[in-house]
Each structure stands twice: as structure tokens, then as C-alpha cells.
Amino acid sequence: MDPKTYKFDTLSLHAGYQPSKNAGSRQVPIYQTTSYMFDDVDHAAALFNLERGGHIYSRMSNPTVQVLEERVCALEGGTAALATASGMSAIFLTIMTLCNAGDHMVVSSQLYGGTVNLFRLTLPKFGIKTTFVKPRDTEGFKKAIQPNTKGIFGELVGNPGNELMNMPEVSNIAKEAGIPLIIDSTYQTPYLCRPFEHGADLVVHSLTKWMSGNGSSMAGILVEGGTFDWMQNDKFPSMTEPYDGYHGLSFAEEFGPTAFTMMARAEGMRDMGPCLAPQNAWNILHGLETLSLRMEKHCSNALKMVDYLSNHESVAWVSHASAPGHPDKELAEKILPKGTGSMIAFGIKGGKEAGAAFINNVKLASHLANVGDARTLVIHPASATHSQMDEATLKFAGLSHDMIRLSVGLEDFEDIVNDFEDGFRAAKKPRLVANK
Amino acid sequence: MKFKVRGIDTFASTGGRPFDKNKPLIIFVHGSGLSHMVWVLQTRYFAFRGYSVLAVDLPGHGLSSGESLKTIEEMGNWVGDVIGAVGCKEASLVGHSQGCLVTMECVAQHPEKIKTLTLMGGASAIPMNPELLKLAEESNPKAVDLMMDFAHGPAGHFGGHPVPGLYHLNVGSMIVQNKEIKDTLGVDFRACDNYKNGPEVAKKLDLPTLSILGAQDRMCRLKDGKILADYIKGSEVKIIEDCGHMMLLEEADQTLEILKKFIAEHYPLPS
């Protein structure tokens, strides 16, 4: 006897949506509206006071966005989700729900540059301080925890250096300290890894990337695993004590495994309002329908690319957890059995100048500040995505000036290789190309 | 709020309002392995409309201490004791699934205390599938997955939770897994399987009673819910189409509307 609940590919097409409640529309409708009619005064009062479910104003929730939230939640195996205008706003909302002024976070050092800046520069303005720890330094996470630490945050596969955080072990450290582990799983998508199955408590994504795949829309999401007991200690009074904003509601008591998301929506979306536009939610939903198919091809192209780059005379080094000799290969095989994703970092011989020539001379690969598009993308992080970091921070984050970040797309592999050969040829004589 | 029943720390959600023993009391009783959290889309409404509500965690469940009670009769008696423990003399009862058996037993044992009875997804007997029972008693998480599968109707399997962003199949699953499965779900399933008094108890009930049934219920099938309602003198029956066993979450709005009307008619606020 086995449960007949729907499985991953089916959920990616159907979860969160019932045509019978939407005029029979097979495709999810775009509810392009700001607000929703109340039945009567009593109905309005009940909605505002979280006594019943429903929509009030699209800053808080929207029926199209709701489908996306439930769909991603189902794919991640979570209890609740909250979509936001971007991945960065999902992270900001998460931290602002978790922390108060005077609190502290322990954070992996290998992150998207914008996330580093959020923790390093912006959150201190709100009195939230951070200790950065290198992703492979598992013991370092433990040592960095202080009495006022409210969580551990990291990308499972760090951007852009592809170093892995040992999620199961770091999760044990977080559990011991009575704080949640928050994983940015943008690089993996739930197709490659479901962090809740490895001890994470909260997951954030930039849906702009692989989840969408079409490069058309910005979006982010916070997903709750329902695993964390907010009442186990006195570290999270905003979750456990009566909240004046809703007549003394205790989110942890009332909502249990969905408490964090309920609070992030009720307080965070109400007061900060980084809501997702329904059109963008619809675009992301389109991408999600083919998530499995795309991730398989992303991963198979990436494996071929690792092999190609590893044997190329112009390449000094390649970092991808599938690469022979990668320090995290064993861990990757354990927690990413379907593949280690399509992000590759490699060093080009000739350093920064050669890297610039390479990027200026590839034609198929797009030079831009995004990852996870269906198309192949390249960038030189030290001069773009991570350019706001000083030398010491770059080094601590594992970045070098010869590094090129590659997001392998779905094109025919031979076409990508032909394009790269043009880039490498130009990189061998950068001055000549630069003068052209 | 926390209070003591028979000397054991007991938790009940009060729907976000301070408990007031002078207001009419409604007690909500959850189903097997679950807790007060399943009632949030019903309790808050009544708590903010002049009633005192207690969505109790049965002993050993949710935030209540102690060990799970082993028989439906014991659970029914315990719910009766809750009323006195909070300083009240009477209450209306609302039960879901196993909670229907428990609340019927409570009425049978404490008829003077109970004013109305609402049964959601009920049946006069809930015999368990032997394989499911064994899995639950072995704390196998597959028992929870099977329960969530059976408990949700075809539409519920797609999602579409009334509260934006919640995926209710996983919400229910996490509520059950909050505790050791064998100590809550396992004990509850065994208690349901052993309980044989349902028809006799139902035939003796003599109070305003409402049965809310899901047309697609696979845990307590619609026909079994109707049979139970037929045993109860004057019982009202409301059927929610396209809904499984978890009507309190799957069709929370319809469930609340039906309950509101019943309570307003049979257990009104003092004028």
C-alpha cells in the first residue's frame, strides 16, 4: 500500500490550482487586480484579522501568485511559501522576520555579491550583525554562534566559486543551538535538492533563474519546512509572544508549522510590501511546467562542459562539484544525486585581461548579470556581480581575477563549444583583440 | 493557554483572545494524531465574535503534556473534565474524525454539560486498515503520507488552500510529525479501531446535532456519515461537494459558514 499523492513532475504542472474554481480555465488566470470584494462587513473584518483565508489586497496576496506559492511549496516539500518581487527581497523579508535590532547571523562567505552586501553593509543599519564563515569550514559555523545569533544562512553551492556547504552537518549545529538553518537553493531548484530533507528549516529562491528558465521576470520566494519549533527557547519572541499587530496573536501557537510564513506575510508584506506582480508569477509558472526537463539538459550539458574545459589548454582550473578532484565531490554525490547544477567557474590562463577578451568575443553565450537562463551566460564576477567588494572580501569569498562564471544553457553542446573556441582564440592574444 | 486537567498540563488555543469563563464556551476536538492547529480557520472567528473557544490538544498531542489516552471512552470523559477545569459548567462541542467519536462519548458521559454537537467527517465506527495501523504503531512516516492521501479529496490533492501560500497536504503531515508517530497517531488509530459503541451512543443522543460531511471523503465515507446522522435524533446534515475528509482545511470557508449558522441558531450569544 503506497500513498497516491502526486509526484514531482505532476506537481510542477498542477499543484496549487483547481480549474473548477476558476471558470474551468485550464491555464492559470492572471488576476490583474489590486483588491478583492468583501461579502459584507463581517467578512472583511474576518479577513483582516486572519480569522479566515482569502485575499484583501495584492500587496499581501493574489490568486495567481498564490498558485505559484503553493506549487513551489509542493515541489520543495514545504508547508507554506511566500512569493516576493525578487530573490533579494525574499532574503531581506526572511531576515527581517527572523531578527530584531541587536541580533546576529552566521552566514556562509560564498554568496551572490548582492547577498554579501545585504549582510555586510545594509543589515547593520538595522542593528543586525553578521559573522561570515567559509562554506567548507563546518566547525567555523559552530564557533561563530553567539547568544544573540538567530540563524545560519548559506547557499548550498556557493556563488560563484562552487564550494559546497555541508548542509546536514551545519543543520545539526543549528539544531544544537536552537536556531534555524536557511538555505538559498536557487542554484539547485527542488529538482536537484530538497533542502528540508537534509535539515534546512527555511529555503529561499530567486525564481528569476532556473525555476523560470526564460529570463523574462524577476521573482523570489520564501518556503517554510514546518520543521522548526519556535517555542523551544526564548530566542524568537516575535514568533511566540502576543503580537500587537493582530490583537495579541501568537503566530507560533496558532499556526505551528506555517507560523514563519504567516508572520512574514502578515507583518513583512503589510509593512514592507515587496509583492510579486501577477504577470511575473504567471511567467514563472510557465517555466516551472518544464523544470525537470530543463534541469536534466542543464546538468548533462554542464557535465560535458566540465570535461571540455578541464582538458582545454587555455583553462587553468575548473570548479564544479562533478569535476574530478573537486574537494566536495563526495558530499555532492550524497546530497545532489541527480546532478550538481549548471554553474561552472573556471580560471582562464592570462588572467583578467584574457578573461575580458574571452567574454568580449563569445557570440552565442550572453554576457549579462543573470544565471539559470535557458541560454548560456558568462560573466567576469570580479568586475561585475562582485565588483562592489574590496580585495580582501573578494579573496575571502573565494574569487580570483581570472575567474569566469559560466551558466550552461540548453543549446546544442557543439554550438557552445564552437563559440567558446572563438573566445579562447581571442583570449590568447588579448591586446590584439582589445585594439580591434 | 495552558491549564491543568487531572493535574496534567494541557494546552488549548483560545483563538487569539483571552479566555473568559463567563462567555459561552465552544470546544473543538481534533482528529487522530493532529492538534489544535487544524482549527485555526474556525476558532478565531468565534473567539472574536463573543464566544470563548478552546481548541484542545488531547493529552500527549500538540503542546499538551502527558501520555495519549488509549480509548475513545477515556478521551470523551477527559473532554468533559476540561469544561470544569476552566471554570465552566457547559459547552458546545465540535469534533473532527476521531474527534466525532470522542465528542459523542463526552455527550454520553456528561449529557448535562453539552448544549450542541457538531460532527465533521464523522462515522459511528472508524475501523482502521490493518496495514496503516501497523505502520502508525511502528512510527513509520509512511503512515502519515497514507493518512494525508486518504484524508484529502481529489481536489484537495491539487492544493488551493484558502489561506494563500499554504500547501495543506504538507501542513497536516508536519502537524502529525510534530510528535513521535506511534505515541499519537498509533495510539489514536488503535483507539478508533477498538471503539464499537458508536451506534449505541449515537442513538441515545438528544441535543441539537449537525453533521458536516465531505462528498469525496475516503476516511469516513459519505454513506457512513449519513448512517451516523440517521442514528441521531433530529440531526442536521450538510454535505460539502468536491471535498474530502479535511473539510476544516480543504473547504474552510464553507465549513465555517455552515457552523456559524448552526451555532447562531442553537447556541446563540446571550442577548
- Give the domain ranges of chain A: 8-287, 291-435
Domain assignment present for B271 = no
Q: What are the φ and ψ backbone dihedral angles of B166, each rounded to 5 degrees?
A: -90, 140
Q: Domain A291-435 carries which CATH code?
A: 3.90.1150.10
pLDDT (tens, 9 = 90+) of chain A, 436 residues, equals 888 999 999 999 999 999 999 999 999 999 999 999 999 999 999 999 999 999 999 999 999 999 999 999 999 999 999 999 999 999 999 999 999 999 999 999 999 989 999 999 999 999 999 999 999 999 999 999 999 999 999 999 998 889 999 999 999 999 999 999 999 999 999 999 999 999 999 999 999 999 999 999 999 999 999 999 999 999 999 999 999 888 888 999 999 999 999 999 999 999 999 999 999 999 999 999 999 999 999 999 999 999 999 999 999 999 999 998 999 999 999 999 999 999 999 999 998 889 989 999 999 999 998 999 999 999 988 777 777 777 787 777 778 888 999 999 999 999 999 999 999 999 997 555 444 4
**A374: phi then psi, degrees, rounded to nearest 5:** -65, -25
Q: Which residues of B touch A19 (CB under 8 A)?
A: none
- For B9, the grid coordinates are 498540563
Q: Across the A/B interface, how many CB contacts are shorter than 8 Å?
A: 148
Interface test with A, best of B2, B40, B56, B158 (most A CBs within 10 A): B158
Supply B212's cell numbers. Answer: 458536516
pTM: predicted TM-score of the whole model, two decimal places: 0.95
Q: How many structural domains comprise chain B?
A: 1
Question: Which residues in chain B (234-253) have CB-CB distances under 8 A to chain A?
Answer: 242, 252-253
Contacts (Cβ under 8 Å, ≥6 apart) of B59: B5, B8, B10, B65, B66, B67, B68, B69, B78
Peptide bond connecting A160 to the previous residue in cis, omega within 30 degrees of 0? yes
Strand partners, B119: B95, B211
Instruction: Decide: helix, strand or coil at residue B4.
Output: strand
3-state secondary structure of B201: helix
State the residue range of the domain holding B169: 2-266
- Asked if B128 is an interface residue toward chain A (Cβ–Cβ < 8 A), one would say no
Lookup result for grid cell 550583525: A129
Closest CA to A102 of A129, A62, A82: A129
- pLDDT score of B157 more than 70: yes
Contacting residues of B for A16, CB less than 8 Å apart: 158-160, 167
Residue in chain B lying closest to A247 (CA): B16
CA distance A237 to B37: 19
Contact A51 B160 (CB under 8 A): no
- Could you tell me which of B226, B232, B230 has the C-alpha nearest to residue B205? B232
Q: How many CB atoms are located within 10 Å of the residue A289 CB?
A: 15
Q: Does B164 touch chain A (CB under 8 A)?
A: yes
Distance from CA of B10 to the nearest CA of A (A): 13
Q: Cell numbers 476521531 label which residue?
A: B98
CA distance A290 to A382: 33
Q: Are A79 and B171 in contact (CB under 8 A)?
A: yes
**How far is A154 from B116, CA to CA, in rounded Å?**
53
A14 and B CB contact within 8 Å: yes
Of A55, A62, A51, A53, nearest to A38 (Cα)?
A55
Residue with cell 553551492: A157
Of the residues A38, A56, A73, the best mutation for testing chain B's interface (the one with the most B CB atoms within 10 Å of its CB) is A73
Could you check whether A8-287 and A291-435 share the same CATH topology?
no
A104/A90 Cα distance (integer angstroms)? 18
Judge: A54–B17 Cβ closer than 8 Å, yes or no. Answer: no
For residue B187, tell me if it sits in a domain: yes
Provide the edge-to-edge strand list for the sheet that holds B25-29.
Answer: B2-5, B8-13, B52-56, B25-29, B91-96, B114-120, B209-214, B236-240
Q: Do A73 and B37 touch (CB under 8 A)?
A: no
> How far is residue A123 CA from its own chain's centroid?
19
Q: For the residues of A87-121, what is the DSSP string, one character each?
A: HHHHHHHHHHHH--TT-EEEEES---HHHHHIIII
Neighbours of A64 (CB within 10 A): 25
Beta bridge partners of A223: A81, A203
The span from the CA of B80 to the CA of B101, in Å, is: 13
Yes or no, beta carbons of B48 and A226 under 8 Å apart: no
Class of domain A8-287: alpha beta
Interface contact B171, partner A, CB < 8 A: yes
Q: Does A260 touch chain B (CB under 8 A)?
A: no
Task: Please report whether residue B199 resides in a domain.
Answer: yes
- Name the minimum distance, in Å, from the CA of B49 to any CA of chain A: 10
Residues A22-56 as b/e (b if ≥16 CB within 10 A, e otherwise) read beeeeebebbeeeebeeeeeeeeebbebbbbbbbe
- Cβ B157–A52 below 8 Å, yes or no? no
